[in-house]
Amino acid sequence: MARKFLYLMAVLIVMVIAGLFAFRMFGPQLMRVAFVPSAQFERLPGVNSSVYKNANMWLARPDKPGNPALWTPSGEKPAANPQAVMFFIHPTSYLDRTSWNAPLGDKIANDRAALFLRGQASAFNASAAIWAPRYRQATFGAFFTGLAEAQQALDLAYGDVSAAFDEFLREIGPDRPIILAGHSQGALHLIRLLRERVAGKPIARRIVAAYAVGWPISRNTDLPVLGLPECSAADQTGCILSWQSFAEPADPSLILDTYDASTGLNGAPRKGSAMICTNPITGTPGASAPATANLGTLVPSTDMKTATLVAGGLPARCDGRGFLLIGPPPAQIGQYVLPGNNYHVFDYSLFWGNVRADAARRLAAFGKK
């Protein structure tokens, strides 16, 4: 499984970064041409939550053979009977411009999504039984345009996520602790899920933590309506963690330009507001940590046949606006970086060992409540 994981990682990253290299060289206009669908948005019907009773509608669930979320690097093992359950929303894995939303049965998109579960959701498998739904995700190009179709595509995708969440809650029963997590587009849907399905609801009392990683969350205009506070302590429960990773010198202008021109979830402008920045090494906001405290970065071997957890390789600190800075570009991960020294693709894998420890620590604290 490790060989398949790393081979797929190479293929996926080359495909995605090829497009992002073009962005650096030729600008947003070329990206729109390359990735934004030319087809009209197809108004597809929503799915009923009962659809997710079918195990094939899940990329990962505890009873699914070949569950990609059970992958671990050498020296690590998933828990046999984890105490908690986890709902994980994978990032964008559909790159096609022939449709605004991924077909549920698209093999290429599903294979890429399974890859993301191996590199991201796997960090939690020592603490939780992981559920990760297939959903009709918005295509990659939806994030490079302001067309109404882009928001319609995201709304359709979220409808699937929400339906899957309903079935997830029915399947797990009324008592088990819940960890929520997502990345990039998955984090965007998680933020909406927090606002619409968790905030002010009884289920909020069951949330160990919510990891909304790789998507900006304004402390002033977004956080107040999400129903959970920002995690302020390493053992705090019922709170939100978020970070966006950059090497130095960092140029997050592509994110900031869009962020500062947008409106927050409470209707106020986001311009100038700080974003949540959890340091995944310390589990606390606005913190700095030396490389020696990094419990392990997930790094592929040179022959791409194994994955190794390398400890002590990278520091991390939060800057004033809310970006996580990891020092100079790491030699071990240098080929697949987004413009501006953005290590978005590696938000989880840079701190895989610390994320694993963070989830276990918060779950232990939750059990003492």
The pLDDT score that the predictor gives to residue 4 is: 38
**Residue 267, token pair as written in the block:** 């209707």
- Residue 202 confidence (pLDDT) above 90: yes
- Residue 90 confidence (pLDDT) above 80: yes
The verdict on whether omega for the bond into residue 249 sits within 30 degrees of 0, i.e. cis, is yes
Q: State the helix-helix crossing angle for 2-26 and 107-119, rounded to 10 degrees.
A: 100
Q: What percent of the chain has pLDDT over 90?
A: 73
The pLDDT score that the predictor gives to residue 61 is: 97
Is residue 355 very low, low, confident or very high in pLDDT (cuts 50, 70, 90)?
very high
Query: 266 CB contacts (<8 Å, ≥6 apart)?
Result: 221, 222, 224, 225
Give the C-alpha distances (Å, rounded to integers) separating 334 from 295, 314, 344, 346. Answer: 20, 13, 13, 11
Q: What is the pLDDT of residues 219-276, one digit of tens each?
A: 999 999 999 999 999 999 999 999 999 999 999 998 999 999 999 999 999 999 999 9
**Average pLDDT for 160-172:** 98
**Average pLDDT for 9-35:** 45
Q: What is the pLDDT of residues 291-315, one digit of tens each?
A: 999 999 998 655 444 578 999 989 9
Lowest mean pLDDT across 1-5, 53-57, 173-177? 1-5
Q: What is the pLDDT of residues 319-345, one digit of tens each?
A: 999 999 999 999 877 666 888 999 999
**Average pLDDT for 74-96:** 94
Q: What is the pLDDT of residues 110-141, one digit of tens each?
A: 999 998 999 999 999 999 999 999 999 999 87
Residue 212 in contact with residue 241, Cβ under 8 Å?
yes
- Residue 11 confidence (pLDDT) above 60: no
Mean pLDDT of the chain: 88
Q: If you ran DSSP here, which 8-state letter would residue 236 be given?
A: -
Q: What percent of the chain has pLDDT over 70?
A: 87
Name the 3-class secondary structure at 293.
helix
Q: If you ran DSSP here, which 8-state letter would residue 194 be given?
A: I
User: CA-CA distance, 142 to 351, in Å (whole number)?
Assistant: 28
The pLDDT score that the predictor gives to residue 17 is: 42
Prediction pTM value = 0.90
Q: State the helix-helix crossing angle for 2-26 and 28-35, rounded to 10 degrees.
A: 130
Give the C-alpha distances (Å, rounded to integers) separating 184 from 179, 245, 308, 345. Answer: 17, 12, 24, 9
